[in-house]
Amino acid sequence: MKIKYKGLSFIRQIALIVGVLIISAQVSFSNESEGRHLTNDEEAYDAGKMIIEHVIDAHEWHIMSIGETHVSVPLPVILYDEGEFVVFMSSKFHHGHEEYKGYKLELDGENKGKIVNVESGVLPLDLSITKNVAAMLMSMVFMSWLFISIARSYTKRKGMAPKGMQSLLEPLIIFIRDDVAKPSIGEKKYEKYMPYLLTLFFFIFLNNMFGLIPFFPGGANLTGNVAVTGVMAVFTFLITTFSANKNYWVHIVNTPGVPWWLKIPVPLMPIVEIMGVFTKPFVLMVRLFANITAGHIIVLGFMSLIFIFGNMNVGLGYGVSVVSVAFAIFMGLLELLVAFIQAYVFTLLSALYFGMAMEESH
Amino acid sequence: MELVQPGIGLIFWMTLSFAALIFILAKFAWKPILKGLHEREASIDDALNAANKAREDMKDLKFSNEQLLKEAKEDRDVILREARAVKDKIIDEAKEKASAEAARIVEAAKENIQYEKMAAITDLKNQLATLSIEIAEKVLKEELSTKNRHKDLVERLIGEVKFN
């Protein structure tokens, strides 16, 4: 048992180092690509606009554009305005070129990409099934189907060796249980948190993977969206807060082992500790969002290079495409690794916070 | 800026459906999966324990078999040793008996010889007495003829007589 633990901590260290390297590499890469496309703003092809449009949410699921024809999946728009719900398909906007029922989709300016009431100019409460919501619902249906069917094979083939899908995902489930939940939360209490941790891990992991698929069923940058990562961070925060014991609060209000003058008269330590309570989920939110979005931006940046150079000279574009595709493939492989690492890190940190909240005084 | 502006709609849907997803998966997926995993691990543990126990039992059995064999060998050795001792004893006894018998026979023979000898001597003595009387008769007869001849005759006759 000892050896196993040592080996694992070694793997964890390597994963951490690789993770840090990737994060720092991505930040520097993304700065570079941003610098590049800014200089090409005057071109007909706007790389920055294209990249941002690809990583943010939208009211329609854009598949491709052939000349001026846009092929996209229309999604339902749900608005709550002036006390009533307004529901229609986003295709009514004709990609923002037309108004419908007194609403229009802003294409430029401050409210770019948002639906505005034409008469009053205010923004209605937008509960539309956007691209990300649709992707999220699809992934959830997929997850429910996947895991419920696996669960059925567990009840059907009781006590037997895993088979098919079951044996593919079982190592991950056991990994979350034995190497994330058990050491972080403790043997006694981990079971209560397993459903949340497993759901969290697989939701992040699968959506990271779907985000890497460049066309229709995938391609939504779901885990690279602050709203999504923020909601997950809030879940972790709420579970941490509600499972906290007395010892946790004592630690925050009256941190033991700290000189008294750090607490009275100016409650310096309590302030730091209370800030820490909120920074933990905040960091969870930003880490996942930044990692996934940065990865997408880099790949899109490499792709943009082809068109930027292609606009200058067609031959140059073809020449650059070789290098760009090679780099994009490399980034894609790196992203596969990041998809797992980020899901793992989010889950591990959540588990660690739960464990810290329930730690007994020593 | 659009990147870090969370959409209200997305937050709403995410909260709602993520909570629903956790609930659904917890109830219909994770519970049976974790239960199944736990049961399987328990059964594997049981099987391993049983196998270990069987191995231990085998070892015990083998040990006791060896013990039995060893004891049997020892018993055999003891029996053989005893048999040899008994054989030796019987032979010794027989030898002793035989020698005693021989001694007895020799003794009896000796006694017999002594007895025969004594009988012979007695017989001789009787014959001697008879002979002496006859001699004495003859001497007495001779004395009637010549004195000296008598004397010579007696002496000669006595000289002739020898006890064997």
- Asked if the model's pLDDT at residue A3 lies above 80, the reply is no
Q: B41: which chain A residues are within 8 Å (Cβ-Cβ)? A: none
Pair A316, A310: CB distance under 8 Å: yes
Q: Measured between CB atoms, does A256 come within 8 Å of chain B? A: no
Going from the C-alpha of B74 to that of each of A360, B5, B62, B63, B64, the distances in angstroms are: 65, 93, 18, 16, 15
Q: Which candidate from B4, B15, B28 shows the least CB-CB separation from A151? A: B28
Best residue in B3, B23, B35, B44 to probe A by mutation, most A CBs within 10 Å? B3
Sorting pLDDT into bands at 50, 70 and 90, what band is B110? very high
Helical packing angle, A131-156 and A194-212, nearest 10°:
130
Q: Express each pLDDT in A254-282 by its tens digit.
A: 888 888 888 778 888 889 889 999 999 99
Residue A230 to chain B, least CA–CA distance (Å): 8
Contact B33 A151 (CB under 8 A): yes
pLDDT greater at residue B50 or residue A48: B50
Q: Where are the domains of chain B?
A: 8-160
Q: Please, what is the end-to-end C-alpha distance for chain A in angstroms?
A: 25
Rounded CA-CA distance B21/B28 in Å is 10
Query: Would the pLDDT of A11 be above 60?
Result: no
How much is the pLDDT for A87? 85
Q: What pLDDT is attached to residue A156?
A: 86
Contact A198 B14 (CB under 8 A): no
Structure confidence at residue A26 (pLDDT): 38
pLDDT, residue A38, reads: 41
Any CB–CB contact under 8 A between A77 and chain B?
A: no
B3 and A52: CB-CB below 8 Å?
yes
Q: Which residues of A90-100 are buried (b: 16+ CB within 10 A; e: fewer)?
A: bbebeebeeeb
Instruction: Look up the ipTM and state it.
Output: 0.80
B18 to A158: CB separation less than 8 angstroms, yes or no: no
Q: In the predicted model, what is the mean pLDDT of residues A18-39?
A: 40
Contacts of B6 in chain A (CB under 8 A): 225-227, 230
**What's B51-103 look like in SS3?**
HHHHHHHHHHHHHHHHHHHHHHHHHHHHHHHHHHHHHHHHHHHHHHHHHHHHH
Q: What are the tokens at B128?
A: 């001697």
Q: Which of B2, B8, B21, B35 to probe the A interface (max A CBs under 10 A)? A: B21
**B19: closest CA of chain A, how far (Å):** 9
CA atoms of A197 and B22, how far apart (whole Å): 9
Q: Does B1 touch chain A (CB under 8 A)?
A: no
Dist. CA A352–CA A181, nearest whole Å: 8
For residues B9 and A231, the answer to whether their CB atoms sit within 8 Å is: no
**How confident is the model over B80-99, as a mean pLDDT?**
95
CB contact at 8 A, A295 and A335? yes
List of E strands, A103-227:
103-105, 115-117, 125-126
What mean pLDDT, rounded, does chain A reach? 82
- State the residue for tokens 């999220």: A136
Nearest CA in chain B to A289: B4
Indicate if the pLDDT at residue A312 is higher than 80: yes
CA–CA gap between residue A101 and residue A82 (Å, rounded): 13
CB A173 to CB B31 under 8 A?
A: no
Q: Quick one: pLDDT at residue B3?
A: 78
Q: A77-122 pLDDT, tens per residue?
A: 888 887 888 888 888 887 777 888 888 888 777 777 788 888 887 8
Q: How far apart are CA B146 and CA A4, in angstroms?
A: 152
Residue given tokens 């543990």 in the structure block: B45
Q: Does A109 touch chain B (CB under 8 A)?
A: no
CB A47 within 8 A of CB A301: yes
| pLDDT tens digits, one per residue of A108-118 | 777 777 888 88
Which pLDDT band holds residue A12 (cuts at 50, 70, 90)? Answer: low
Return the domain boundaries, chain A: 2-41+131-357, 62-126
Return the residue in A133, A182, A196 with the most chain B beta carbons within 10 A, the one to mutate for interface testing. Answer: A133
**Among the listed residues A277, A123, A259, the one whose alpha carbon sits nearest the alpha carbon of residue B8:** A123
**B3 and A133 in contact by Cβ < 8 A?**
no
**Residue in A closest to B5 by C-alpha:** A226
3-state secondary structure of A197: helix
Contacts of B14 in chain A (CB under 8 A): 133, 136, 227-228, 231-232
Lowest mean pLDDT among A91-95, A311-315, B17-21: A91-95
Q: In this complex, how many residue pairs, one in chain A and one in chain B, have their CB atoms less than 8 Å apart?
A: 130
Q: What percent of chain A has pLDDT over 70?
A: 88
pLDDT tens string B35-50 = 988 888 898 999 999 9
Q: Which of A226, A43, A325, A152 is nearest to B33 (CA)?
A: A152
pLDDT category, A39, cuts 50, 70, 90?
A: very low
Query: Which one-letter DSSP state was computed for residue A121?
Result: -
| pLDDT the model gives residue B147 | 67
Query: B133 in contact with A at a CB cutoff of 8 Å?
Result: no
B16 touches chain A (CB under 8 A): no
- Candidates A127, A170, A199; nearest CB to B21: A199
The answer to whether B18 faces chain A, any CB pair under 8 Å, is: yes
Is the pLDDT at B6 greater than 80? The verdict is yes
Q: Phi, psi (5° rounding) for residue A160?
A: -95, 170
- A170 has a chain B CB within 8 A of its CB: yes
